[in-house]
Structure 1
Amino acid sequence: MNFGSITQAEKNIVKSIKINKPSAIIPANDKHTASLIFLHGLGDVGESWLEVFDMYNIPKYARHVKFIFPTAPIRKITLNYGMSMTGWFDAHGLDRSSKEDQKGILEASKYLNDLIEDEIKNGIPSERIMVGGFSQGGAAALHAVLTTSHMLAGVLALSTWLPLSSTFPKVELALVAGDKKLNLPILQCHGKQDPVVQMEWGRLSEKAFKAMGFKKYVFKEYDGMVHSSSDEVITIEY
């Protein structure tokens, strides 16, 4: 079974994303033996999260890690009255009944997988590559890890949700890479007062991952946190 993989029909609608600027990168301070690829949220740029990681001195503690912060292409966003801004895919609404941009989500997922493969070509084993993201970026990351053929080091998903969740099995596992992916560490963090990606979205994502049998999936809720990150989230040890 292969319900979690991208079908040929879906592959036909996936096109190369035209990125408007190169990824912001923090090179490894010591020998490069691992990589983290982190995707920003709607309307943001990669440099913003580079500054966050830099501010908390994360690269100085993870000296062997190369940090990669891509910037999404500019596209019209339906939710924002068709205004053009950076986005990994279109957004139609803020509730669970809103239409999902399947084509855009698949494009973003493929783009992230291409970045993973670039790191592998540079000599980094997939098991030493971690992915993550905030909001839209986190959604793209969660989708990508379920459909990629690569085994990864882990996922950091902030204020986000699992998109196209109906395409994944709820009882029987059917993921690319098979049962071994059940041991993938996934940390999902969500603010209880998030007015954009509602808490319900995060909890439904938690149910989906647990239904698929992920053994190292952790969902953390934060009192007082809105659609943002916090000191507690950025400095968490997992």
Structure 2
Amino acid sequence: MCGNNMSVPLLTDAVTVSGKEKETAAVIFLHGLGDTGHGWVDTLTEIQLPHVKFICPHAPAIPVTVNMKAMMPAWFDLMGIDPESPEDENGIKLAAENIKAIIEHEVKNGIPPHRIVLGGFSQGGALSLYTALTCQHQLAGVVALSCWLPLHKSFPSALSGHKNVPILQCHGEIDMMIPLQFGAMTAKKLESLVSPQMLTFKTFPRLPHSSCPQEMAAVKEFIEKYLPRI
């Protein structure tokens, strides 16, 4: 099941940008480490479709090991930014359950899973990938920006069986935080988990660990394709 008794954030812990007309689809977008849902609202509003609502949850503040245990908004603890770094397995799984609970909430309110795109940037993109691949529902798609696949060694056994979920993975070519090589390794791993034709991996020259208008244009095109007006 997607939901269980773990602590689940209320939807008041999110910024929601409503559609301009009847909402028949939703994009749940997860911010990066140290940010909040507010950090992405303006960028997402620029690419919003009238029938799609955007939900930008806020991560709770927790001590983050890689930042000398400083308290900051984080979906789970980070011990290091390296494919071989130890990972916060319990924290990642708990965070995924919390995001699945938001998906369930939308489903109960009439937006079916195949009309929900899950996305995120950096740590949020990592969590969106892990959540979509382990969720009982097949979602409309995943937008994974400047990120990696958490607990990558637990796949393919952790996979919920949705091999046809479309994934748009984007990465800046001069990203010093999550190097492009990690993005490429992630794409290679994802190719072995989902049908290869469902994965699009785009890289952007001169883009550091952030976003750019060309990348957001690609995100908009992806949303238009997989969340068309009904």
Give the TM-score normalised by structure 1.
0.86
1:35 to 1:21, Cα distance in 2 relative to 1, 3 A: closer
CA distance in 2 between partners of 1:42 and 1:49 (Å): 13
Question: How far did 1:19 drift?
Answer: 6.8
Is the Cα contact below 8 Å between 1:17 and 1:73 reproduced in 2?
Answer: no
Going from structure 1 to structure 2, the CA distance change for 1:22 and 1:222 (only over 3 Å counts) comes to same
Q: How many residues align?
A: 219
Question: Taking structure 1 as reference, are residues 17 and 79 closer, same or farther at Cα in structure 2, changes over 3 Å only?
Answer: farther
Aligned residue number for residue 111 of structure 2: 124
Pairwise CA distance, 1:213: 3.9
* 1:167 corresponds to which of 132, 148, 154: 154
Note if 1:76 corresponds to 2:60. Answer: no
- Which is further off, 34-43 or 200-209? 200-209
Aligned to 1:190: 171
- When the two chains are superposed, the root-mean-square deviation of aligned CA atoms in Å is 2.1
> Given residue 156 of structure 1, which amino acid in structure 2 is its aligned partner?
V
Aligned residue runs from structure 1 range 91-102, under 5 A? 91-102=78-89
Map of 2:17 onto structure 1: 26
Unaligned 5+ segments in structure 2 are: 223-230
Correspondence for 1:209 among 166, 190, 201: 190
Structure 1: runs of 5+ lacking an equivalent: none
Q: CA deviation at 1:175?
A: 2.9
Give the superposition deviation at 1:174: 6.9
Match of 2:53 among 41, 57, 66: 66
Task: Provide the secondary structure at the position in 1 that maps to 2:127.
Answer: helix
Answer yes or no: is 1:35 the counterpart of 2:22. no
Deviations 1:131-190 (A, max 9, x none): 000000001000001110101110111000111010002xxx8732x3xx2221100000
- 2:134–2:158 Cα contact (<8 Å) kept: no
Matched, 1:235 2:214: no
Residue number in structure 2 paired with 1:106: 93
Provide the secondary structure at the position in 2 that maps to 1:235.
helix
1:154 equivalent to 2:154? Answer: no
The sequence identity of aligned pairs, in percent, is: 42
Deviations 1:43-92 (A, max 9, x none): 000011112212x2x22xx1011110000000000111110000001111
> Is the Cα–Cα contact under 8 Å of residues 21 and 71 in structure 1 kept in the other structure?
no
TM-score (norm 2): 0.89
